[in-house]
A and B are shown apart, each in its own frame.
Chain A
Amino acid sequence: MSSGAAVPASRPSPAPSTSPTGTVVLTAADISRALTRIAHEVVERNKGATDLVLLGIPTRGVPLALRLAERLAAIESANDPAVTPLDPATLVGELDVTMYRDDLHRHPTRSIGATRLPAQGIDGKVVVLVDDVLYSGRTIRAALDAISDLGRPRAVQLAALVDRGHREVPIRPDFVGKNLPTSTSERVRVRLSEVDTTDGGAPQPDAVVILGASAGTAREARA
Chain B
Amino acid sequence: MRHLLSTQELTRTEAIRILDTSAQMAATQSREIKKLPTLRGRTVVNLFYEDSTRTRISFETAAKRLSADVINFSAKGSSVSKGESLKDTALTLQAMGADAVVVRHQASGAPHLLAHAGWLDAAVVNAGDGTHQHPTQALLDAYTLRRHLSGTGLEGPAGSRPDDAAALGADLAGRHVAIVGDVLHSRVARSNVHLLHTLGAHVTLVSPPTLLPVGVGSWPCAVSYDLDGTLAGHGHHGGVDAVMMLRVQRERMSGSGTGGGAFFPNPLEYARKYGLDARRLRLLDEHAIVMHPGPMNRGLEISAQAADSSRAVIVEQVANGVAVRMAVLYLLLAGTEDTRTATDTTIERATTS
Chain A positions near chain B (C-beta within 8 angstroms):
57, 59-60, 96, 99-100, 104-115, 131-136, 139, 145, 149-150, 187-190, 219-220, 222-223
Contact = CB atoms under 8 A, between A and B. Distances in A.
Contact of B330 (A57, A107, A112, A145): A112
B283 interface: no
B350 interface: yes
A188 B37 contact: no
B349 A110 contact: yes
B325 to A, nearest CB: 15
A146 to B, nearest CB: 9
B351 A59 contact: no
16 contacts: A96-B24, A99-B66, A104-B334, A105-B334, A109-B330, A109-B331, A109-B335, A109-B338, A109-B345, A112-B21, A113-B24, A131-B353, A134-B353, A149-B33, A190-B350, A222-B352
Given A99-B36, A219-B344, A109 B353 contact: no
Contacts of A112: 21, 24-25, 330
A135 B348 CA distance: 13
Interface in B1-53: 17, 20-21, 24-25, 27-28, 31, 33, 35-38
Contact of A135 (B17, B37, B335, B352): B352
Given A99-B38, A133-B353, A115 B27 contact: yes
Interface residues of B, number: 34
A150 B35 CA distance: 11
A61 B17 CA distance: 23
A173 B21 CA distance: 31
A100 B66 CA distance: 10
A132 B353 contact: yes
Contact of A136 (B36, B337, B345, B352): B352
A111 B342 contact: yes
Contact of B37 (A100, A113, A132, A189): A100
Nearest to A57: B353
Contact of B349 (A59, A188, A223): A59
By secondary structure, the B interface counts as helix
Contacts of B282: none
B335 A104 contact: yes
B117 interface: no
B82 interface: no
A107 B347 contact: no
Contact of A107 (B21, B36, B345): B345
A60 B21 contact: no
Contacts, number: 86
A111 B21 contact: yes
A149 B336 CA distance: 26
A109 B336 CA distance: 7
A108 B336 contact: yes
A60 B335 contact: no
Interface in B295-345: 330-331, 334-340, 342, 344-345
A189 B351 contact: yes
A60 to B, nearest CB: 7
Given A100-B37, A132-B350, A149-B31, 16 more contacts: A60-B350, A99-B28, A99-B330, A105-B334, A107-B348, A108-B337, A108-B340, A109-B330, A109-B331, A109-B334, A110-B349, A111-B345, A114-B24, A115-B28, A133-B351, A135-B353
A108 B339 contact: yes
Contact of B335 (A105, A113, A219): A105
Contact of B38 (A59, A100, A111, A139): A100
Contacts of A96: 24
B256 interface: no
Contacts of B85: none
A198 to B, nearest CB: 15
Contacts of B338: 108-109
B346 interface: yes
Nearest to B341: A108
A57 B352 CA distance: 13
B90 to A, nearest CB: 23
B347 A220 contact: yes
Contacts of B28: 99, 115
Contacts of B353: 57, 131-135, 139
Nearest to A145: B37
Contacts of A114: 24, 27
Contacts of B346: 59, 111
